[in-house]
């Protein structure tokens, strides 16, 4: 069963119906996927540091999951639905701007990771570049997702009406 399939199974109540999940909780749960991939990236960095082999297909599939789920879906939700509302409310605008900039940097790092994953399994030059890209990604996204979970998402409920919040839950 996939990670997302396991989460969907947990989201059902005793009668098998979908459990109601708030927009903020939904986004926080999605961070679990990111956290798991950060663990994979850390393990690959450890293997590069100790000059051990690593499976390039795992790095590539992790980067592809980052691209499709984290960047193209999860971050797009925040960029389309949350960030503009914070800016209109003039709340946490500096934080929103930093998070948006980090999304852009993350996309560039994912591009690098995908370009280097296969070559880095065999050659020390690309291995060092891959390790650096993975390090930058992990170093940026650990505090990034923590800031969203502890500051941005809790504040979101306070800047929108209950109806708007509930309708976003359906949208997400």
For residue 147, tell me if it sits in a domain: yes
What's the pLDDT score for residue 54? 93
Q: Are 39 and 134 in contact (CB under 8 A)?
A: no
Number of residues that make up the chain: 172
Enclosing domain of residue 64: 22-171
Distances (CA, A) of 124 to 24, 38, 44, 83, 109: 42, 22, 14, 40, 19
Task: Give ∠ CA 6-142-9 in degrees, rounded to 5.
Answer: 10
Separation between Cα atoms, residue 127 and residue 148, nearest integer Å: 31
User: Exposure of 60 by Cβ count < 10 A (0-12 exposed, 13-18 middle, 19+ buried)?
Assistant: middle
For residue 12, tell me if it sits in a domain: no
For residue 62, tell me if it sits in a domain: yes
103: how many CB neighbours lie within 10 A of its CB?
Answer: 20
What's the pLDDT score for residue 52? 94
Phi-psi region of 110 (alpha: psi -120 to 50; beta: other; left: phi over 0): alpha
For residue 17, tell me if it sits in a domain: no
For residue 26, tell me if it sits in a domain: yes
For residue 138, tell me if it sits in a domain: yes
Going by pLDDT thresholds of 50, 70 and 90, the confidence category of residue 65 is very high
For residue 117, tell me if it sits in a domain: yes
What's the pLDDT score for residue 114? 96
Total of domains in the chain:
1
* DSSP H/E element including 85: helix 83-89
Separation between Cα atoms, residue 144 and residue 150, nearest integer Å: 10
For residue 3, tell me if it sits in a domain: no
For 116-159, what is each residue's pLDDT tens digit? 998 887 777 899 999 999 999 999 999 999 999 999 999 999 99
CATH number of the structural domain spanning residue 126: 1.20.120.520
What's the pLDDT score for residue 118? 85
Separation between Cα atoms, residue 107 and residue 67, nearest integer Å: 7
């Amino acid at each position: 069963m996939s990670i997302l399939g396991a989460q969907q199974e947990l989201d059902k109540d005793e009668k098998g119906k979908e459990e109601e999940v708030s927009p903020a909780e939904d986004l926080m749960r999605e961070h679990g996927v990111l956290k798991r991939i950060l663990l994979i990236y850390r393990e690959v960095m450890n293997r590069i540091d100790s000059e051990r082999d690593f499976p390039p297909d795992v790095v590539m599939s992790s980067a592809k999951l980052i691209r499709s789920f984290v960047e193209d879906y999860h971050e797009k939700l925040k960029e389309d639905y949350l960030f503009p509302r914070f800016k209109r409310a003039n709340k946490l605008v500096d934080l929103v701007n930093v998070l948006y900039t980090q999304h852009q940097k993350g996309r560039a790092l994912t591009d690098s990771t995908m370009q280097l994953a296969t070559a880095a399994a065999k050659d020390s030059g690309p291995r060092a570049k891959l390790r650096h890209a993975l390090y930058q990604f992990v170093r940026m996204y650990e505090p990034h997702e923590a800031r969203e979970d502890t500051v941005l998402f809790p504040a979101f409920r306070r800047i929108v009406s209950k109806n708007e919040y509930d309708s976003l839950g359906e949208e997400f």
